[in-house]
């Protein structure tokens, strides 16, 4: 029987890389994004690629600023499937000016909070509440947050760091309340990722990290897949996982055969919360 996943913000970037890795393993994957579905746009293209890889891709339009739309996605999954094995909280949105990166917080509009925290943190909490209701009832499942080394050290902007630290703490504390339910929570720290947006910028490095050696979105997806299918994943529940380091544990390489390096040392250490 196919495993069932929901990956939010999956029409491009890290989200798309994750759904492609799951599709290649035969998963049924629900993909959300703000773009419309059924019109051949990026969300439909990503879903079709999941199916072409051997899985089943299902595109679902969802504006994650709206709790009711998030709830509707989970209601649909509950109606169409026997359960939910994996939620990947990945949705993210830029405020005007590419998240204000490069400008100090006092020169940015306070409304940046509504995007970076409202979408980048609150929407993940709402989705996790919905997912936990399905998973706890069945006694299994994994909730994974796509976080960042911005938890450990300054990266990009103040609000970026706040949102990512919140995701890590959310995974750690949800694990406490989910203990003995069979449901695990994780927070993942990819390194710099060669997304379409990053490549379109035409820069050679981001925050001093060379793009040439960066992780691909599918590399992150391969790590997510390994964690979600690891029968011992419960031992990691509540922890923050560095994708490059987990890849070494699981014997995972990037799509070009390379082995991306961990940014742990550059940011002064590992997770602030959890057991790792």
Judge whether 160 counts as a catalytic residue. yes
Which residue in 271, 10, 276 sits closest to 127, CA to CA? 10
Reading the block at residue 154, the tokens are 């300054």
Pick the catalytic residue from 125, 154, 160, 250.
160
Ramachandran angles phi, psi of 213, nearest 5°? -100, 10
Q: Which residues are bridge partners to 195 per DSSP?
A: none
* Alpha-carbon distances, residue 258 vs 18, 19, 179 (angstroms): 18, 20, 36
d(CA 135, CA 139): 6
* Alpha-carbon distances, residue 48 vs 20, 26, 29, 102 (angstroms): 10, 13, 11, 36
Phi-psi region of 98 (alpha: psi -120 to 50; beta: other; left: phi over 0): left
H-helix or E-strand containing 86? Answer: strand 86-89
b or e along 249-264 (b: 16 or more beta carbons within 10 Å of the residue's beta carbon)? eeebebeeeeebebbb
Q: Active-site positions? A: 160
């Amino acid at each position: 029987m196919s495993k069932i996943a929901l990956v939010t913000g999956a029409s491009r970037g890290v989200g798309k890389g994750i759904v492609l890795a799951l599709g290649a393993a035969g998963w049924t994957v629900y993909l959300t994004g703000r773009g419309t579905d059924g019109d051949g746009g990026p969300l439909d293209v990503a879903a079709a690629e999941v199916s072409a890889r051997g899985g089943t891709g299902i595109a679902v339009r969802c504006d994650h600023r709206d709790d009711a739309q998030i709830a509707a996605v989970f209601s649909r999954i509950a109606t169409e499937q026997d359960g939910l094995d994996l939620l990947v909280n990945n949705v993210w949105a830029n405020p005007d000016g590419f998240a204000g990166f490069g400008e100090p917080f006092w020169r940015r509009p306070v409304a940046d909070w509504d995007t970076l925290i409202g979408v980048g943190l609150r929407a993940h909490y709402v989705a996790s509440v919905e997912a936990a209701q399905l998973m706890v009832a069945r006694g299994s499942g994994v909730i994974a947050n796509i976080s960042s080394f911005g938890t450990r050290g300054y990266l990009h902007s103040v609000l970026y760091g706040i949102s990512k630290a919140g995701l890590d703490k959310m995974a750690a504390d949800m694990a406490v309340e989910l203990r003995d339910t069979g449901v695990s929570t994780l927070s993942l720290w990819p390194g710099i990722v060669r997304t379409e947006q990053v490549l379109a910028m035409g820069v050679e490095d981001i925050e001093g990290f060379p793009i040439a050696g960066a992780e691909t979105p599918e590399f992150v997806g391969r790590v997510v897949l390994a964690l979600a299918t690891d029968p011992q994943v419960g031992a990691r529940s509540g922890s923050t996982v560095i994708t490059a380091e987990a890849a070494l544990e699981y014997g995972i390489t990037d799509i070009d055969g390379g082995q991306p390096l961990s940014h742990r040392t550059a940011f002064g250490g590992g997770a602030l919360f959890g057991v790792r």
